[in-house]
Amino acid sequence: MNGEAARREPLDLRCYLVTSGSGRRTVEVAAAAAGAGAGVVQVRAKEVSAAELLELTCAVAEAVRAANPATRVLVDDRADVAFAARAQGAAVHGVHLGQDDLPVAAARELLGPEAIIGLTTGTLELVRAAEAQREALDYIGAGPFRPTPTKDSGREPLGVAGYPELVAATNLPVVAIGSVTAADAAALAGTGVSGVALVRALMEAEDPGAVVREVLGGF
């Protein structure tokens, strides 16, 4: 077994929260999702400054650790913010990179071998490119599942039928994203993905914990 494969505990990607907003509600939903068993919380707030993102990330990390120490907290896009949060002692475990962010190898060099690093994909070409870097990656996101108002990737929606080909093209775990709801979990689980990422379905839920439990039931 190589050092990369041995470096971390298994990652529970079944229910993966991507946050929105930057206020108290963001922290509260993250904690509720973690408490119900979400394995990953990604802090995403593209509209705020780096300093504000760092403050939000640390607040989310503190709340998530109190709710469920097993939940992993990642920062969207900003490996530098993840590094700063970790340097401050926050329970932040890594970064999720987009195609235009810091290259995977550079993020791995910055954050070290134990950090979790994910990468956005969504086409067969992008999945194959990620697979070529699999020793430096922990998982890939693939979307959009449906058209989504929160992120315009320019890629065609995959639908349930689009995932088996992507899953077959990589040894990395694949997380489906893009207007996913809890009701989609079982169908997507049947495609071989390792989990689903939810944004609005959790952030706008009256009972985020119930949504998490429904997703976990699908896997």
Question: Quick check: helix, strand or coil at residue 82?
Answer: helix
Cα of first residue to Cα of last residue in the chain, in angstroms, is: 28
Please report, for the chain, the start and end positions of each structural domain, with discontinuous segments joined by +: 11-218
Three-state SS at 139 = strand
Domain 11-218: give its CATH architecture: Alpha-Beta Barrel (3.20)
Distance CA 134, CA 121 (A): 13
- Residues 41 and 17: their CA atoms lie apart, in Å, by 5
**pLDDT for residue 69:** 98
Task: Count Cβ atoms within 10 A of the Cβ of residue 9 and give its class: 0-12 exposed, 13-18 middle, 19 or more buried.
Answer: exposed
Task: From first to last of the 219 residues of the chain, give the pLDDT tens digit.
Answer: 234 444 567 899 999 999 999 999 999 999 999 999 999 999 999 999 999 999 999 999 999 999 999 999 999 999 999 999 999 999 999 999 999 999 999 999 999 999 999 999 999 999 999 999 999 999 999 999 998 776 666 788 999 999 999 999 999 999 999 999 999 999 999 999 999 999 999 999 999 999 999 999 999
